[in-house]
Amino acid sequence: MTKLEQIEHQVKQLNPADFAEIKECFLEYEWQEWDQKIEQDAKSGKLKALAEKALADHAAGRTNPL
């Protein structure tokens, strides 16, 4: 049995409260990774073209209010 299979087996054995806690832990980890990736992309300039296009579309009236 691989380590991943062992973890999956253990997760399936958790009671609902413990499962909710571990699920929240993984979600938080995922959100932190997402935030770091966005920050890296912003610093590297990868998002600049998207931001410029969005601003140009807005200035041209091609956007809708939220």
3-state secondary structure of 1: coil
Q: 37-50, pLDDT tens digit by residue? A: 999 999 999 999 99
Predicted confidence at residue 14, as pLDDT, reads 98
| Residues 3-43 pLDDT 10s | 999 999 999 999 999 999 999 999 999 999 999 999 999 99
Interacting residues of 54 by C-beta distance below 8 A, sequence separation 6+: 63
